[in-house]
Amino acid sequence: MAQPKQEKRSTRRFSLELPISVKFLGQEKLDLAGRTRDVSSRGVFMYLETDITSGAPIEFVMTLPPEVTLADAIRVRCTGKVLRVDKAGQQQGVAISIEKYDFVGEE
């Protein structure tokens, strides 16, 4: 019988499908929308419909719902880098490492 994989993550992940606004910070500035699959304090897995490579710098804004914050919904602007890209047709799953985040008001 196969052994289950040991969880390597040290922070709790929340399975959340949230709309997300993404900016690529490389040579070509590009804004687009995506959605998350899961979120933790150190990273996000999101789905995007554009090509992106591992290591690319990225900025995104998402609104964390009350069930996560245990208070009001909070908008968070995060910067980080792409760790991994999982391609499936036109859609791509993208694992992002969060390097910095700030709480922001409505824009």
Per CATH, the architecture of 15-104 is what? Beta Barrel (2.40)
pTM of the predicted protein model: 0.79
Mind spelling out the 3-state secondary structure of the chain? CCCCCCCCCCCCCEECCCEEEEEECCCCCEEEEEEEEEECCCEEEEEECCCCCCCCEEEEEEEECHHHHCCCCEEEEEEEEEEEEEEECCEEEEEEEEEEEEEECCC
| Sequence ranges of the domains in the chain | 15-104
Q: Render pLDDT for 81-101 as a digit per residue (tens, 0 to 9).
A: 999 999 877 778 999 999 999
**Each residue's pLDDT expressed in tens, for the chain with a length of 107 residues:** 555 545 555 677 889 999 999 987 765 667 788 999 999 889 999 998 888 889 989 999 999 889 888 899 999 999 999 999 998 777 789 999 999 999 987 65
